[in-house]
């Protein structure tokens, strides 16, 4: 596996592969890899001739400097996992390589980035779309894979790619869960044992909503049932519950007559966890 720290290094590799007629699948990450990331890598291997993984804790998507400083990092362990998974190249630039002195351009999906989770974390999705654009321009992948857990992020990136005519196929990959249903996230390691034990309530509430949807229900009834389950867990503080159109993320109301995306976020001991489910009648 090649390890690159500079744009020139990864660009030389990707140019050579493309000139040789090979396709490139890119897995964007902020490192501290877990089975959820490895599911993206596995799917990337099935799609592309070459797999590139980027590891970059992107400062532009963190509002709170403390959150950025606390973000878990372990490059050696990450690289060992990627090597074992047969990845062709890992790209680990430093911040100056991606945001050089004088950098001032941003990319933003003006509506989608500023609703829902974007209101809880102002500027977050703008930071994501800006860095993703930079990486697409550096690596020029044929495919880029993103987890469905970050549902709004996936829709924001799909919108950006459509609006800016970017020549890359965005592939969403289903959320990987622990045995008790908690969606895998790099943040899970920061939970206390008690909060870790409480956190699967998110998945249980979504599973209940899925059942209700199948039986026939309304948006309001789904919302009330999820809210009641989360509020019954004393360690959970509900931060966001939105039932929206799966692509436009516009709020829905009344009878559930078509698929709807449920976006859920809650804090456990100050750690914000998110989960999502698309439910269908
Ligand atoms: O989902 C993530 O880990 C990040 O938001 C991403 C897409 C790697 C951009 O920094």
Q: C-alpha distances in angstroms, 2 versus 69, 141, 227? A: 27, 17, 47
Say what percent of the chain tops pLDDT 70.
Answer: 100
Q: What pLDDT does 207 receive?
A: 98
Q: Kindly report the average pLDDT of the chain as a whole number.
A: 97
What the block records as the tokens of 110 is 């003006």
**What are 254-280's pLDDT values in tens digits?**
999 999 999 999 999 999 999 999 999
**What are 83-121's pLDDT values in tens digits?**
999 999 999 999 999 999 999 999 999 999 999 989 888
Mean pLDDT of 205-232: 98
**Mutation test residue for ligand 1: of 30, 107, 126, 154, the one with most atoms within 8 Å of CB:** 30
Cα separation, 14 vs 220, in Å, equals 49
**What are 16-65's pLDDT values in tens digits?**
999 999 999 999 999 999 999 999 999 999 999 999 999 999 999 999 99
**Mutation test residue for ligand 1: of 40, 125, 132, the one with most atoms within 8 Å of CB:** 132
CB of 80 within 8 A of CB of 55? no
Domains in the chain, ordered, with CATH?
Answer: 2-173 (3.40.50.620), 186-276 (3.30.1300.10)
Ligand 1 centre to CA of 250 (Å) is: 23
Q: What pLDDT does 117 receive?
A: 86
Q: What pLDDT does 42 receive?
A: 98
* Residue 117 among the catalytic residues: no
Q: What pLDDT does 202 receive?
A: 98
User: 213 CB less than 6 Å from ligand 1?
Assistant: no
User: 58 CB less than 6 Å from ligand 1?
Assistant: yes
Q: How confident is the model at residue 237 (pLDDT cuts 50, 70, 90)?
A: very high
3-state DSSP call for residue 26?
strand
Q: What pLDDT does 166 receive?
A: 98
Which residues, including other chains, have CB under 8 Å from residue 152's CB and lie 6 or more apart?
Answer: 112, 116, 117, 118, 125, 249, 263
Q: What pLDDT does 120 receive?
A: 81
Q: What pLDDT does 186 receive?
A: 83
CB of 78 within 8 A of CB of 33? yes
Q: How confident is the model at residue 234 (pLDDT cuts 50, 70, 90)?
A: very high
Q: What pLDDT does 114 receive?
A: 96
pTM as predicted:
0.92
User: 131 CB less than 6 Å from ligand 1?
Assistant: yes
> Rounded to 5 degrees, what are φ and ψ at 214?
-60, -35
> Rounded to 5 degrees, what are φ and ψ at 116?
50, -120
């Amino acid at each position: 596996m090649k390890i690159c720290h500079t744009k020139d290094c990864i660009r030389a590799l990707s140019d050579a592969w493309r000139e040789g007629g090979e396709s490139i699948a890119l897995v964007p990450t902020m490192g501290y890899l877990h089975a959820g990331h490895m599911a993206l890598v596995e799917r990337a291997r099935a799609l592309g001739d070459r797999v590139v993984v980027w590891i970059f804790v992107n400062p532009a998507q963190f509002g709170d400097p403390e959150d950025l400083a606390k973000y878990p990092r372990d490059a050696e362990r990450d690289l060992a996992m990627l090597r074992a998974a047969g990845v062709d190249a890992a790209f680990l630039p430093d911040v100056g390589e991606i945001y050089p002195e004088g950098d001032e351009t941003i990319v933003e999906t003006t509506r989608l980035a500023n609703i829902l989770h974007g209101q809880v974390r102002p500027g977050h999705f703008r930071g994501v779309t800006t860095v993703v654009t930079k990486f697409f321009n550096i690596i020029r992948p044929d495919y880029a894979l993103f987890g469905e857990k970050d549902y709004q992020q996936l829709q924001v990136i799909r919108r950006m790619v459509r609006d800016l005519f970017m020549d890359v196929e965005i592939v969403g990959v289903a959320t990987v869960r622990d045995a008790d249903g908690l969606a895998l996230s790099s943040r899970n390691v920061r939970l206390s044992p008690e909060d870790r034990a409480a956190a699967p309530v998110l998945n249980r509430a979504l599973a209940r909503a899925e059942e209700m949807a199948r039986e026939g229900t309304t948006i309001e009834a789904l919302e009330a049932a999820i809210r009641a389950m989360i509020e019954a867990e004393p360690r959970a503080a509900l931060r966001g519950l939105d039932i929206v159109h799966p692509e436009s993320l516009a709020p829905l109301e009344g009878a559930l007559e078509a698929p709807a995306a449920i976006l859920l976020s809650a804090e456990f001991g100050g750690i914000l966890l998110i989960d999502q489910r698309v439910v269908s009648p």
